[in-house]
Amino acid sequence: MTGGYEVVDIAEKEYEIHTKTGGSFHVNLRTRTCSCFEFQMLAIPCSHAIAAALKAKINVEELVIDEYKLDSLNRAYEGIILPESASPVGIGMPSIVSDLQLGPPATRRPPGKPKKLRYFSRGEKRVGEMCSQKDQMRQVQGNWTQQGHLQEPNLR
């Protein structure tokens, strides 16, 4: 028994794993596969493969593919990226970009008072009716009081 599994030798580096619940899985350590498919899908040994590796006295870490190992990670970042000023060839800016005169957009504020209420999205519900101006004043001044700007106003 290995980790609650019964491991049976089938062939060279091939094992039949019997679980306590009556299931059985076929592990091949040479091709790094298991009939549960987790081993070949993740390229990380499944519990059945680990049980087989323990039986075969193989280091479990050797069953993980090289791409997941620290050495591969280090190799992925071993190249250097130079800052633009240090790069040997400057990046040429096309004249269509460098000749542009960029300024603020030529727009004006529309006439009239801006709307206080925003447009509601489709499906969004308007909660209650609009407050009276007096309630809105009280709410605003109440908020200020919370921030320490004003004392509670007497609106009555």
List contacts with Zn ion (CB under 5 A).
Answer: 25, 34, 36, 46, 48
Q: How far is the CB of 2 from Zn ion (least distance, A)?
A: 13
Q: For residues 14 and 31, is the Cβ–Cβ distance under 8 A?
A: no
Q: Give me 38's structure tokens.
A: 């987790």
Using the minimum distance from each CB to Zn ion, give the nearer residue, 14 or 141. Answer: 14
Given the complex with Zn ion, which of 44 and 138 has the nearer CB atom? 44
CB 49, min distance to Zn ion, A: 6
Q: Please, what is the minimum distance in Å from the beta carbon of residue 45 to Zn ion? A: 8
Provide the residue count of the chain.
156
DSSP string across 55-124? HHT--GGGGS-GGGSHHHHHHHT-S----GGGSSS--PPPHHHHT---------PPSSPPPSSPPPPTTP
- Report helix, strand or coil for 127: coil
CB nearer to Zn ion: give 48 or 55: 48
Nearest distance from C-beta of residue 29 to Zn ion, angstroms = 12
**CB-nearer residue toward Zn ion: 9 or 152:** 9
Distance CA 28, CA 24 (A): 13
| Shortest Å, Cβ 59 to Zn ion | 18
